[in-house]
């Protein structure tokens, strides 16, 4: 079924308002790390994206320090 003009306008309005609230973070990871993170996310019952956000927020909230 084709989208109506009203639906197209609503989509455009949503996309325009959304771009000011969200940005994308991208990173390159070795395949084994991606698989490890994906498996942990699956065990936790969340998406990989949500898992990474929760992990980052946990580290920030608990003042976790990392060494290189």
Please state the domain extents for the chain: 28-68
User: What is the distance between the alpha carbons of residues 7 and 47, in angstroms, rounded to a whole number?
Assistant: 28
- The pLDDT value recorded for residue 65 is 93
User: What is the distance between the alpha carbons of residues 6 and 22, in angstroms, rounded to a whole number?
Assistant: 24
pTM greater than 0.95 (yes/no):
no
- The pLDDT value recorded for residue 42 is 98
Q: What are the mean pLDDT values of the chain's consecutive 10-residue runs (68 residues total)?
A: 91 80 88 97 97 97 90
């Amino acid at each position: 079924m084709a989208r109506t003009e009203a639906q197209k306008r609503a989509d455009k309005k949503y996309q325009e308002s959304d771009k000011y609230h969200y940005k994308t973070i991208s990173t390159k990871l070795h395949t084994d790390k991606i698989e490890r993170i994906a498996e942990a996310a699956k065990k936790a019952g969340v998406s990989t994206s949500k898992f990474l956000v929760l992990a980052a927020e946990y580290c920030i909230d608990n003042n976790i320090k990392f060494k290189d």
